[in-house]
Amino acid sequence: MTVQSIVDDAGAVFSAPGDPTVTAALGAFLRRLDSAPRLLGFGEPMHGEESFLQLRNQMFRFLVEHEGYRSIALESSCLKGILVDSFVRGGDRLPLDDVMEHGFSHGFGESPANRDLILWMAEYNRRREPDEQLRFFGFDGPIEMTSADSPRQALTFLDTYLRTHLGEEDLPCTPDRISALIGDDDRWSNPAVAMDPTQAVGATPEAVELRLIADDLMTLLASQAPHLLAEGTRDELWEAELHGRIATRLLSYHAGMAENSPRRIARLLGIRDTLMADNLSALVQREADRGPTFVFAHNGHLLKGETHWDLAGLHLHWWCAGAHLGVRLGDAYAVIGGAVGQAPGHGIGQPPPDTVEGRLFAVGESCLVPAAPVARRTGDVEKRADPSDNSTYFPLEPAGLGELDAILFLRHIDAAGT
């Protein structure tokens, strides 16, 4: 069976983002699954290309209008995302420009497609009752490529929430003690730590004490959950759990930044992806009564196996968020991996014929195809190795196609970011 025959038998071709064939193919893909997913992932092979975000928007609208989806989660800071969620539900009157600037991490607020998504969600919600409104979530930690935030915001939020509902005698320490242990926020987010672990804060006595405090606060939150829920709302408790989860994982991440070992970078990437999986697992539980969630991120976070990355002479590999989700959710998690054939604006030329992308390119159109038969048909091909100007571009791993449920292949992209 050739890739062309796979497309003819179980896939669909389309011309470009906006072609209604894309959503028809998405619906057909969902019907072929053994059970309806509670979490549906769509991955992009690189950051900074609007075509994949435009496809995401188109797919999300279809999922909302035809499949009962009520939430979307993006690879962006979960703490910043609270501002975006408030805006789309009509609860925050900040100008949209401010929401885009302060509600996204990694510079993703500059994306026109992300702006379009937020405007569409806000308009959709304007005509809906609160229980039927769409929700927006970030699921990444407050972590950038070369730095991570101070734990102040997350720890202070959790401590304040507990202090509001419980007695002083229940708390492990005072707010002043937490603030004194954190000290100057800039020392936590120092980008020089990425290359020099000796400048990291995470292994200092103050950081070790903060990790114990964070653990005590989370234990207190869990043990008092029935009382806290009776006194407040489920949303308030969920937000406190989110901040507590961030505080504990963030302190672990800073401890990892202080390590000096060959596995340091891979361990940090693994901590980050585990936090992503924790956030998405919590979302699935939160949204269980409302509908499935659509999640969008880089392929490297969503596939159901190890992510591999060759960086500065190192071969890094770690269990990504999708691998954890596959274990936790089973068939309730499905993922469509994005792939690209030719993208001159990103320095990506026509793919070599003996690669997965090359076989898909030969179909002659963009397409959405099930991954399993493509994996069987392309087991003899090599991983694509032609250069790219986009450092975030990851070609498909031939051996990893089984970690995807489907592939959405864009044959040609005219220009970067458009």
How far the first Cα of the chain sits from its last, in Å, is 35
**What confidence category does residue 339 fall into, taking pLDDT thresholds of 50, 70 and 90?**
very high
Q: What is the pLDDT of residue 312?
A: 78
The confidence score (pLDDT) of residue 332 equals: 98
Angle CA(38)–CA(43)–CA(48) in degrees, nearest 5?
Answer: 140
Residue spans of beta strands (DSSP E) within 248-319: 293-298, 306-311, 314-319
Please provide the CATH number assigned to the domain covering 147-260.
Answer: 1.20.1440
5 pLDDT tier (thresholds 50, 70, 90): confident
pLDDT band (50, 70, 90) for residue 335: very high
**Predicted confidence (pLDDT) at residue 212 exceeds the cutoff of 50:** yes
pLDDT of 182 reads 98
* All CATH 3.40.1660.10 domain ranges in the chain, comma separated: 3-69+277-412
Look at residue 8 in the predicted model and tell me its pLDDT: 73
- Which residues of the chain does CATH 1.20.1440 include? 147-260
E strands within 265-364? 293-298, 306-311, 314-319, 333-342
Determine the Cα–Cα distance for residues 71 and 127; give it in Å rounded to an integer. 16
- What pLDDT does 417 receive? 45
319 and 306 in contact (C-beta within 8 Å)? yes
User: For residues 105 and 49, what is the distance between their CA atoms, to the nearest angstrom?
Assistant: 16
Question: pTM of this prediction?
Answer: 0.95
The pLDDT of residue 377 is above 50: yes
String of DSSP letters for 265-313 = HHHHHHHHHHHHHHHHHHHHHHTTTT--EEEEEEHHHHSSSEEEEEETT
Identify the pLDDT of residue 415: 66
**pLDDT surpasses 90 at 252:** yes
Domain 3-69+277-412, second-level architecture? 3-Layer(aba) Sandwich (3.40)
pLDDT at 418: 39
